[in-house]
Structure 1
Amino acid sequence: MGKIHTNARGANRRGRRTKVNFGARSGQSARTVTPLAKTPTVQILTISNVPRDLLGAIDELAASQDRSRSSFVRRELQRVVAEYQAKDALRGLTPRN
């Protein structure tokens, strides 16, 4: 009789994970980590924490452009980001990743 495999297919792959290449970066940037205290606070915006009257206004604006709410919000966010990127480019600032 053959050997009975009790593990699900691919379950033994955990032991074969690739190692992270920490040596790829060199110089000061390799050792620099942004401390938590300097990281800006980000609030995730969801439908549940947007006031109902504001959602109504967004819906009206979206309807006037024959767009869905999500399409309208996405387009406006892209426009705002493009404006900030243009201002930064005029100031000579480089985008940070």
Structure 2
Amino acid sequence: MHGLASIYSDRLTGRRTSSGQRFCQQKMTAAHRSLPLGTKVLVTNLHNNKSVEVFINDRGPCHRNRVIDLSSAAAAKLGMKKRGLVQVKLQILNKQSIGTS
């Protein structure tokens, strides 16, 4: 799966995600429209080939042309903080559902 990745807005910090967890910019988490919550995904920045593992714990992104929203910590590891949007490749590492509360 390929597409544009974006970074979560800071204004969502502390709000509950779709999984029931509170959103934290320092955790390696992401939002995806259809992957099961709890899925572990390897995200690779196609611009610089850097990769990071994230857990899907929320639904999104809201913008149709984007495939994943990343926490600030994950975006930093991918070297995309200055760019804001980058082309990425997603590789599913496992599918593990987590309950919502």
TM range (shorter): under 0.3
- TM-score w.r.t. structure 1 length? 0.19
Task: Indicate the structure with greater strand content.
Answer: 2
Task: Indicate the structure with greater helix content.
Answer: 1
Larger Rg, first or second structure (1 or 2): 1
Specify which structure has the bigger relative contact order, considering alpha-carbon pairs within 8 angstroms and separated by 6 or more residues.
2
- TM-score w.r.t. structure 2 length? 0.19
